[in-house]
Chains A and B, each alone.
Chain A
């Protein structure tokens, strides 16, 4: 278990504090290994979050690179009032917003701040009986079938899962990646993406529902 993973699983505040303090000290001292570890841990997430704001992968990578420089230049002033992770992602968000503005890109404020405005159902309406159905309103018309366990754990299924994530809109992709792949808490995701509790849940719900649907259509073919 690497140091940052230990941070993620530990609930003991004092331990988290001291592991993080060590990391911060190492960075200030110019410890390249500490920096490399941080980069490996966060670079993919930084790029994914940056993609919410900028329109290309290349621009997102530039934003992430700029973020690392800002982190290094600012680490001397980091006071530990938020976690190091939250601090890094705040820096990223600010740089990404500035970049988006410069590129003349309208920020996806509605996608982040009001995702519920445009309704999006977990499943097509035709999976259910009519809400006015006299006997079984809103009941399953086509019930989901249990997935065969051997297909679930097959390597190809992982590939389909990764494809389903890539196909998501950037905001949903960022939320589900941080929560379910990286294992962040909802609070950490909310802080990093400046999301309300409700909006974080809406985005997570839509993302998970779509990924389940992708798995269903893939695993359904198998049976």
Chain B
């Protein structure tokens, strides 16, 4: 384990994943994050699973609107429009 991985533990890394994805880590921490993820198998898998999670969420169909709800809102719209 080199010094870079010593500075950032796996336990710390999992808490920085979103900051990393969002580009919110300061440059030095960003570099330490990547250095750790590259040499640590467990963290590599963890990162991949977070990416997979986000990818799967992006494929979830957006909630369908119940037909009744849409009808009611459109009726309200007609009421508004004719008033």
Q: In the bound complex, do residue A201 and residue B69 qualify as a contact, i.e. CB atoms below 8 Å apart?
A: no
Indicate whether B27 reaches chain A with its CB closer than 8 angstroms.
no
- Over the window 135-172 of chain A, the binary record of Cβ atoms lying under 8 Å from chain B Cβ atoms (1 yes, 0 no) is 01111100111110000100001100110010000000
Which chain B residues (12-46) contact chain A, with CB distance < 8 Å?
12, 14-15, 17-19, 22, 24, 40-43, 45-46
Q: In the bound complex, do residue B15 and residue A201 qualify as a contact, i.e. CB atoms below 8 Å apart?
A: no
CB within 8 A of B9: which of A137, A157, A211? A137
Indicate whether A32 reaches chain B with its CB closer than 8 angstroms.
yes
How close is A213's CB to chain B, nearest CB, in angstroms?
9
Q: In the bound complex, do residue A65 and residue B65 qualify as a contact, i.e. CB atoms below 8 Å apart?
A: no
Q: In the bound complex, do residue B65 and residue A43 qualify as a contact, i.e. CB atoms below 8 Å apart?
A: yes
Interchain Cβ contacts within 8 Å, total number: 129
Indicate whether A72 reaches chain B with its CB closer than 8 angstroms.
yes
With A65-B72, A68-B76 already in contact, the answer to whether A215 and B11 are too (CB < 8 A) is: no
CB-nearest residue of chain B to A72 = B80
Q: In the bound complex, do residue B77 and residue A35 qualify as a contact, i.e. CB atoms below 8 Å apart?
A: yes
With A39-B70, A43-B73, A65-B73 already in contact, the answer to whether A208 and B62 are too (CB < 8 A) is: no
Which chain B residues (34-83) contact chain A, with CB distance < 8 Å?
40-43, 45-46, 48-50, 52-54, 56-60, 62-65, 69-70, 72-74, 76-78, 80-81
With A44-B62, A208-B50 already in contact, the answer to whether A143 and B18 are too (CB < 8 A) is: no
- Over the window 54-65 of chain A, the binary record of Cβ atoms lying under 8 Å from chain B Cβ atoms (1 yes, 0 no) is 000000010001
Q: In the bound complex, do residue A139 and residue B9 qualify as a contact, i.e. CB atoms below 8 Å apart?
A: yes
Please name all residues of chain B whose beta carbon is closer than 8 Å to the beta carbon of A145 when the two chains form the complex.
45
Residue picked from B1, B17, B57, most chain A C-beta under 10 Å = B57
Q: In the bound complex, do residue B76 and residue A65 qualify as a contact, i.e. CB atoms below 8 Å apart?
A: yes
With A35-B74, A143-B42 already in contact, the answer to whether A157 and B14 are too (CB < 8 A) is: no
Q: In the bound complex, do residue B10 and residue A181 qualify as a contact, i.e. CB atoms below 8 Å apart?
A: no
A211 CA to B53 CA in the complex, in Å? 7
CB within 8 A of B50: which of A131, A183, A212? A212
The 8 A-B pairs at the shortest CB distance, nearest first, are namely A138-B9, A44-B63, A205-B18, A143-B42, A180-B57, A138-B11, A140-B42, A30-B81
Chain A residues within CB distance 8 Å of chain B:
30, 32, 35-36, 39-40, 43-44, 61, 65, 68-69, 72-73, 121-123, 125, 127-128, 131, 136-140, 143-147, 152, 157-158, 161-162, 165, 176, 180-183, 186, 197, 201, 204-205, 208-209, 211-212, 215-216
6 CB contacts below 8 A, A to B, read A68-B73, A139-B11, A144-B49, A157-B56, A181-B57, A215-B52
